[in-house]
């Protein structure tokens, strides 16, 4: 066995939220591992533009709001049209919102669930068909430790619940497709430096609570999450399906 089991040569990946944060880091490591990648997001960031300009044969981008009715079929079709197949789906796009449970309104609850659960469900459903036709594939859903423990000090009923739901969807899909060559896993990151956490990291009180509750005493980096996603997507994880891989600096140990 060699390190080649971590490579994705010849593979095609679709990565949602591939313009920044964890999704962009996944795109970069997938590209280094030999994959060709279709990235999708609402906005085109300078970092995304640079990646597309540097390696146009390896990366492409399709603009989509994952909550649009036609987005799932459109982004899967764009991947097939551009690269001819689809081997790996990374359901990474996600949003968070804070608020007391008793004040949390229906609109925000729906928005968080639409983006973090319903959209990944619809995108996975669209991606399953070409994977079945090809005889296999791999999916990685980005969950969170927030799906396993209530966040503090920020109160996030919708976010926590949506991430718990995507962990369960992951296991359900893994069970359903295990005998048809499609592996489905989730990554549950702890606190990672990105736009999503920038406000909390800048807030001295939140920063202290997050750091003190992370035994390693620091936040994760997007690249550290991307390495885990690469493992789950690659043949190195050939016997891994239905797992929720926790990468949290030890947050859940206590
Ligand atoms: P960012 O806020 O940096 O990035 C969020 C990404 O999601 C962006 O690419 C954004 O695209 C995309 N996105 C959000 N809503 C939509 C939408 N409606 N349609 C299309 N794209 C959308 O966050 P992270 O990189 O940190 O988060 C990535 C994933 O990791 C999320 O699922 C998050 O919940 C999860 N996670 C993050 C943790 C952290 O500590 N950072 C911890 C645990 C889990 P655009 O720029 O176009 O809006």
Q: Give the range of the structural domain holding residue 225, as residue numbers without chain letter.
A: 3-248
Query: Would residue 253 count as lying in a domain?
Result: no
- The finding on whether 91 has its CB within 6 A of some atom of ligand 1 is no
Query: Would residue 225 count as lying in a domain?
Result: yes
CA of 23 to the centre of ligand 1 (A): 7
Helices then strands (H, E): number in the chain?
Answer: 9, 7
Total domains present in the chain: 1
Q: How far apart are CA 229 and CA 140, in angstroms?
A: 7
Active site residue 159: yes
- The finding on whether 120 has its CB within 6 A of some atom of ligand 1 is no
Q: Is 137 exposed, middle or buried (0-12, 13-18, 19+ CB in 10 A)?
A: buried
Query: Would residue 35 count as lying in a domain?
Result: yes
Q: Which of 14, 15, 16, 17 to mutate to test the pocket of ligand 1 (most atoms within 8 A of CB)?
A: 17
The reported pLDDT for the residue numbered 1 is 61
Count of CB atoms situated within 10 Å of the CB of 209: 17
Please report, for the domain that includes residue 136, its CATH number.
Answer: 3.40.50.720
Average pLDDT of the chain is 98
Query: Would residue 148 count as lying in a domain?
Result: yes
The SS3 assignment for 99 reads: strand
Give the pLDDT confidence of 90-149 residue by residue, as tens digits.
Answer: 999 999 999 999 999 999 999 999 999 999 999 999 999 999 999 999 999 999 999 999
Let me know: does 244 contact 40? Beta carbons within 8 Å: no
């Amino acid at each position: 066995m060699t390190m080649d089991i971590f490579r994705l040569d010849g593979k095609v990946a679709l990565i949602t939220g591939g313009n920044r944060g964890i999704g962009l880091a996944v795109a970069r490591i997938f590209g280094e591992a030999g994959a060709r990648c279709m990235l999708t997001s609402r906005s085109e960031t300078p970092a995304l533009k640079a990646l597309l300009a540097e390696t146009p044969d390896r990366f492409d981008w399709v603009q989509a709001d994952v909550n649009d009715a036609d987005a799932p079929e459109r982004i899967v079709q764009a991947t097939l049209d551009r690269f001819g197949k689809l081997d790996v789906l990374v359901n990474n796009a996600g949003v968070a919102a804070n608020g007391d449970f008793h004040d949390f309104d229906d609109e925000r609850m729906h928005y968080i669930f639409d983006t973090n659960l319903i959209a990944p469900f619809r995108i996975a459903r669209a991606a399953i068909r070409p994977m079945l036709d090809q005889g296999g594939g791999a999916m990685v859903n980005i969950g969170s430790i927030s799906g396993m423990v209530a966040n503090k000090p920020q109160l996030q009923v919708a976010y926590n619940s949506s991430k718990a739901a995507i962990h369960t969807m992951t296991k359900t899909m893994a069970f359903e497709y295990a005998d048809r060559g499609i592996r489905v896993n989730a990554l549950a990151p702890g606190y990672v430096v990105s736009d999503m956490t920038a406000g909390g990291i800048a807030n001295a009180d939140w920063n202290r609570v997050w750091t003190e509750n992370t035994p390693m005493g620091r936040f994760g980096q997007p690249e550290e999450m991307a390495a885990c996603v690469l493992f789950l997507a690659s043949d190195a994880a050939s016997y891994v399906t239905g797992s929720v891989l926790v990468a949290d600096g030890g947050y859940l140990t206590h």
